[in-house]
């Protein structure tokens, strides 16, 4: 697990229901896209939108259980840890973006400039 | 007379006042009386003008399965026998903590030494237009039930319930039971989504249908319609109107905090209490739905009982600390067994055990975390709910009983202490192994030794054990192992679709049709999938099989498609896309080429390439630009080329008799005709066609999935070529004399492949598997050919549509826009 830890704010990026069940949406940041997933059981996860294999956009993959299949080469990535599963286990890791769900809204960990 | 306690037997009694005559208030008093019967002089205020009753049993009262008398917990004799003063029908208007006095309607003032707030919660009323119409009720107390019962007296009455949670479903069931047409309108896609996963939610939807309750999911209520001041319908955001004579709002509860707030107590969502149930005033306590403990306001009965026990300990000088409650839920609808507890959503380090028994309509899902039960969802057979709940609460390590856990307490404890092998060894020969086919252990061992069986499939073929639902497969395998010893070979047979099932593609396809399975949860239940929502291998396959079997009924599941089919373009290594417009038969025009050139300029498309399928590929399009690119191409009359599809791709042609001096037929015209009829069709894998105007074969038709070679006397239809991973020349399927017959034969063979092919199995592989002779026999039989053609034509009514135009029109536009741009300019 490789979670972002140096954040100081939560940014509201939308409602849970903005993401289709078993789907994902992108949130652009200056450091690249974040992929926000909603699994079949309604849980929400966020990862950097990059497969540890060849950088494929995970937000475009098929979400199943608590995993996503990368659209480029079908690596399965565990949404809670960002780690590849099965035969690809141990080959790198996608950073996990901490998030909170409050009142149906999704808040992503972010870093605000000092005002 | 203030502040002077009553004397009883020489001991001064403290005055205990309880605000709330419901489940919590009375239970608190009962618990106190159990511990110290003479300690307090007790007065209870209740807003409802009746004695204390079991509110959670209002559902059976509504359903007519119980009467009010059946659900009374404490009758008047209880109050008088325990010396309790009941102020029924008198709402408390104020609490004065400084003076330690409670004020109620009619100027009544009652002093207290200890005050318990147990005034529960109010049902949430949605602020919809029309919410104040007559006939709009909530489901909270007996008055609501009376209103619903009255509405049900009219013959053929209709009821709408907003809210597909526990209470809403029980209300709808009760109304249906009383003869009304009841419809539940639920905002989410799954009923009881806080307690159930999608599989259980689907089964619940089906079971309720059997009980006369219809369900509308993903429905946003917009306005309640009225006539003469009385409700007559509900309008949804999508314009649908559901007529009704009564409308029940069951969308949740809000803790009653007003009284506590005006008294100056700390109130968040509910009245804030500590582990001793004490509010911010040391003489005032709160229990039940009005209370908020460690940030949680509970709405179920079990936590209320826990709170009341703690409170009674505290108020009788005992030691008590409420630690919060672990929740479990049971739906009270007769004949529908539903149980849910803990987490059903898994997570890191969690493991799912899924059991499905299609025959009995059973679905069980256990979530294990670190070897312990973390949650359970049970549908159709919930007898073990409490056992799982106890295991969960006790935190017992269940690794040793994991193998049998999902089969329940009886099985597990019956076998405890044995490893699964010795458990099977210990079974008597008369013990039944396969419940579906009534096969006992002795029959299986006899068949193995007597007939020299060595594989699971042999055993299935001879004894039928594990040949139906398959849930006893592990047991049968163990019998095999035990009987054969070292001679045992692991399971062989048709390759399963994926790890979520032991069924192969053929069985899945056949049962979807035979059992009229028309949705993905239906398939997963009937075929006893071992995962809750499949995986990236089986979901696209099932989605295709359903589309093929039920073209008019099944709704395509976008989330079960690979990205290329979902966004109608091909993803490239850098995350951009390539776009290929259709060029019918490879023919284009100046206007189309001009439009393509304009699009390339306008959207700065880096690469333009001619494909092997006689079309033009635009590479490097940014995802967000896709709808705009399509819009411009649409405007010039071009549609999606489906270069991304497991479906009809391209129809390559040569110029044929129109230009070529060797051409025997109009190959270009036939190619265009085929493509215009067949485009948009989905198939197990990609399908490429080509039509050559003479045996010189300039369109390379003999390495396509389906090819046509025109000859003087007619048309040779070829099948099963490939020029990719494998190179394979086609074989001749049949020869026909007219262009019409060529179209019929090609569409018929396409449909046969659509119906028989396994997902991702190209035509040449399908042909190898089923044999060309069998295919030919069907295509050359006029009746079968006709039937196949008709089924293809019917399916095409639904799928010969341009997906680009639909997206341009705004469908699923969220796919092409970021969720939020709020983090774009902030360093994250």
Q: Which CATH number does the domain housing residue B177 bear? A: 3.50.50.60
- Mutation to test the B interface, candidates A35, A44, A65, A75, most B Cβ within 10 Å: A65
Are B657 and B795 within one domain? yes
Full domain range(s) for residue A71:
9-110
> B823: closest CA among A73, A91, A49?
A49
Are B245 and B260 within one domain? no
pLDDT of residue B476: 84
B213, part of any domain: yes
B628, part of any domain: no
- Give the distance from residue B354's alpha carbon to the nearest chain A alpha carbon, in angstroms: 12
A71, part of any domain: yes
B215, part of any domain: yes
Picking from B203, B234, B251, the residue at the C-terminal end of a domain is B251
Are B551 and B700 within one domain? no
Are B681 and B797 within one domain? yes
Distance of CA B382 to the CA centre of its chain: 19
Q: What is the pLDDT of residues B625-647, one digit of tens each?
A: 999 999 999 999 999 999 999 99
Confirm if B14 and B41 have CB atoms less than 8 A apart.
yes
Task: Determine the average pLDDT of the residues in B4-24.
Answer: 75
Say whether B563 and A71 touch across the interface (CB within 8 A): yes
Are B553 and B433 within one domain? no
Total structural domains within chain A? 1
CA B127-B129-B133 angle, 5° bins: 95
For the cut 90, the answer to whether the pLDDT of residue B415 exceeds it is no
CB atoms within 10 A of CB B571: 22
Say whether A30 and B824 touch across the interface (CB within 8 A): yes
Instruction: Write down the ipTM of this complex.
Output: 0.84
How does residue B781 score in pLDDT terms, banded at 50, 70 and 90? very high
Q: Please provide the distance, in angstroms rounded to a whole number, between the alpha carbons at the two ends of chain B.
A: 67
Are B116 and B58 within one domain? yes
Q: Which CATH number does the domain housing residue A40 bear? A: 2.102.10.10
For the cut 70, the answer to whether the pLDDT of residue A115 exceeds it is no
Q: Which CATH number does the domain housing residue B454 bear? A: 1.10.10.1100
A63, part of any domain: yes
Are B152 and B214 within one domain? yes
Are B159 and B297 within one domain? no
Residues of chain B contacting A63 with CB distance shorter than 8 Å: 559
DSSP A24-74: EEEE--TT--EEEEE-TTS-EEEEES--TTT---GGGSEEETTEEE-TTT-
Confirm if B378 and B384 have CB atoms less than 8 A apart.
yes
- Mutation to test the B interface, candidates A24, A60, A67, A111, most B Cβ within 10 Å: A60
Nearest-angstrom CA–CA distance, B249 and B159: 11
Q: What is the pLDDT of residues B253-297, one digit of tens each?
A: 899 999 999 999 999 999 999 999 999 999 999 999 999 999 889
Task: Determine the average pLDDT of the residues in B695-716.
Answer: 95
Confirm if B556 and B519 have CB atoms less than 8 A apart.
no
Full domain range(s) for residue B35:
6-121+255-315
Model pTM? Answer: 0.67
Say whether B819 and A25 touch across the interface (CB within 8 A): yes
Q: What is the pLDDT of residues B344-355, one digit of tens each?
A: 776 667 888 888
Are B380 and B429 within one domain? no
Q: What is the pLDDT of residues B375-405, one digit of tens each?
A: 999 998 887 888 898 899 888 898 888 888 8
Are B13 and B104 within one domain? yes
Say whether B824 and A25 touch across the interface (CB within 8 A): no
Q: Which residues contact A103 (CB under 8 A, 6 or more apart)?
A: none
Total structural domains within chain B? 6
Are B309 and B235 within one domain? no
Confirm if A81 and A87 have CB atoms less than 8 A apart.
no
- Give the distance from residue A49's alpha carbon to the nearest chain B alpha carbon, in angstroms: 10
pLDDT of residue B642: 95
Give strand pairing partners of B108.
Answer: B104
What count of Cα atoms within 13 Å lies in the side-chain half-sphere of residue B686? 18
Dihedral angle at the C-alpha atoms of B757, B758, B764, B767, nearest 10 degrees?
-50
Confirm if B27 and B304 have CB atoms less than 8 A apart.
yes
Confirm if B302 and B327 have CB atoms less than 8 A apart.
yes
Are B240 and B157 within one domain? yes
Confirm if A25 and A36 have CB atoms less than 8 A apart.
yes
Residues of chain B contacting A51 with CB distance shorter than 8 Å: none
A15, part of any domain: yes
Residues of chain B contacting A76 with CB distance shorter than 8 Å: 536
Task: Determine the average pLDDT of the residues in B635-664.
Answer: 94
CB atoms within 10 A of CB B630: 26
For the cut 60, the answer to whether the pLDDT of residue B468 exceeds it is no
pLDDT of residue B824: 76
């Amino acid at each position: 697990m490789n979670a972002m830890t140096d954040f100081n704010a939560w940014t509201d990026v939308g409602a849970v229901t903005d993401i289709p069940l078993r789907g994902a949406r992108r949130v652009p940041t200056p450091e690249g896209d974040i992929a926000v997933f909603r699994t079949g059981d309604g849980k929400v996860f966020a990862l950097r939108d990059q497969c540890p294999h060849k950088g494929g956009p995970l937000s475009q993959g098929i979400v199943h259980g608590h995993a996503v299949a990368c659209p480029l080469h079908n690596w399965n990535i565990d949404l809670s840890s960002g780690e590849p599963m099965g035969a690809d286990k141990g080959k790198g890791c996608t950073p996990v973006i901490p998030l909170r769900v409050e009142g149906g809204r999704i808040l992503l960990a972010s870093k605000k400039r000092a005002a | 007379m203030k502040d002077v306690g009553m004397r009883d037997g020489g001991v001064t009694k403290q005055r205990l006042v309880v605000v709330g005559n419901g489940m919590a208030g009375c239970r608190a008093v009962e618990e106190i009386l159990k511990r110290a019967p003479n300690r307090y002089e007790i007065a209870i205020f209740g807003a409802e003008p009746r004695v204390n009753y079991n509110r959670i049993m209002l559902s059976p009262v509504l359903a007519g399965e119980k009467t009010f008398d059946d659900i009374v917990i404490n009758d008047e004799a209880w109050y008088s026998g325990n010396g309790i003063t009941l102020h029924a029908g008198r709402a408390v208007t104020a609490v004065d903590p400084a003076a330690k006095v409670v004020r109620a309607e009619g100027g009544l003032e009652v002093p207290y030494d200890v005050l318990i707030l147990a005034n529960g919660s109010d049902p949430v009323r949605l602020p919809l237009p029309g919410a104040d119409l007559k006939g709009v009720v909530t489901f909270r107390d007996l008055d609501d039930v009376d209103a619903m019962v009255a509405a049900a007296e009219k013959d053929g009455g209709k009821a709408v319930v907003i809210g597909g949670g526990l209470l809403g479903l029980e209300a709808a069931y009760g109304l249906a039971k009383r003869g009304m047409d009841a419809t539940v309108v639920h905002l989410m896609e799954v009923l009881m989504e806080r307690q159930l996963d999608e599989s259980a939610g689907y089964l619940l939807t089906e079971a309720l249908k059997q009980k006369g309750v219809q369900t509308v999911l993903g429905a946003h209520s917009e306005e309640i319609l009225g006539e003469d001041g009385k409700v007559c319908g509900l309008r949804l955001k999508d314009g649908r109107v559901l007529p009704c004579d009564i409308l029940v709002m069951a969308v949740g509860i809000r803790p009653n905090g007003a009284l506590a707030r005006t008294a100056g107590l700390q109130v968040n969502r509910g009245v804030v209490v500590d582990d001793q149930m004490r509010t911010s005033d040391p003489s005032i306590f709160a229990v039940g739905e009005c209370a908020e403990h460690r940030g949680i306001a509970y709405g179920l009965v079990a936590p209320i009982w826990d709170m009341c026990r703690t409170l009674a300990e505290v108020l009788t000088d005992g030691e008590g600390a409420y630690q919060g409650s672990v929740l479990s839920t049971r739906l009270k609808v007769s004949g529908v067994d539903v149980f849910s507890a803990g987490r059903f959503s898994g997570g890191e380090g969690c493991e799912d055990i899924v059991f499905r028994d299609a025959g009995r309509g059973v679905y069980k899902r256990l979530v294990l975390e670190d070897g312990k039960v973390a949650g359970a969802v049970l549908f159709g057979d919930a007898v073990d709910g409490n056992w799982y709940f106890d295991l969960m609460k006790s935190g017992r390590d269940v690794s040793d009983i994991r193998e049998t856990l999902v089969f329940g307490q009886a099985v597990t404890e019956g076998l405890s202490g044995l490893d699964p092998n010795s458990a099977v060894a210990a079974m008597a020969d008369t013990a039944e192994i396969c419940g579906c086919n009534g096969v006992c252990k002795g029959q299986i061992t006899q068949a193995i030794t007597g007939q020299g069986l060595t594989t699971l499939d042999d055993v299935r073929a001879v004894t039928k054990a594990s040949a139906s639902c398959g849930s006893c497969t592990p047991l049968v395998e163990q019998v095999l192992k035990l009987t054969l010893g070292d001679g045992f070979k692991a399971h062989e047979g048709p390759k399963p679709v994926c790890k979520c099932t032991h069924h192969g593609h053929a069985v899945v396809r056949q049962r979807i049709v035979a059992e009229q399975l028309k949705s993905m949860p239906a398939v997963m239940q009937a075929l006893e999938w071992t995962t809750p929502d499949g995986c990236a291998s089986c979901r696209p396959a099932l989605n295709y099989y359903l589309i093929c079997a039920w073209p008019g009924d099944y709704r395509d599941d976008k989330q079960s498609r690979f990205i290329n089919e979902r966004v109608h373009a091909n993803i490239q290594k850098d995350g951009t896309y390539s776009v290929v417009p259709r060029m019918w038969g490879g023919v284009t025009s100046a206007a189309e080429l001009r439009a393509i050139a304009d699009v390339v300029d306008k959207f700065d498309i880096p690469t333009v390439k001619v494909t092997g399928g006689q079309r033009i590929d635009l590479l490097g399009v940014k995802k967000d630009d896709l709808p705009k690119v399509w819009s411009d191409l649409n405007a010039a009359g071009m549609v999606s080329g489906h270069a991304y599809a497991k479906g009809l791709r391209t129809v390559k042609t040569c110029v044929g008799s129109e230009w070529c001096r060797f051409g025997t037929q109009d190959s270009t015209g036939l190619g265009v005709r085929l493509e215009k009829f067949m485009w948009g069709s989905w198939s197990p894998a990609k399908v490429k066609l080509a039509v050559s105007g003479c045996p010189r074969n300039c369109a390379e038709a003999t390495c396509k999935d389906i090819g046509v070679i025109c000859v003087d006397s007619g048309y040779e239809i070829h099948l099963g070529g490939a020029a990719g991973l494998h190179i394979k020349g086609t074989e001749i399927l049949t020869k026909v004399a007219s262009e019409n017959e060529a179209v019929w034969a090609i569409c018929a063979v396409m449909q046969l492949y659509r119906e028989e092919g396994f997902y991702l199995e190209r035509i040449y592989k399908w042909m190898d598997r089923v044999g060309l002779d069998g295919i030919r026999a069907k295509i050359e039989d006029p009746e079968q050919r006709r039937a196949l053609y008709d089924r293809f034509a019917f399916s095409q009514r639904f799928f010969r549509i341009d997906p680009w135009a639909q997206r341009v029109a705004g469908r699923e536009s969220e796919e092409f826009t970021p969720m939020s741009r709020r983090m774009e300019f902030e360093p994250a």
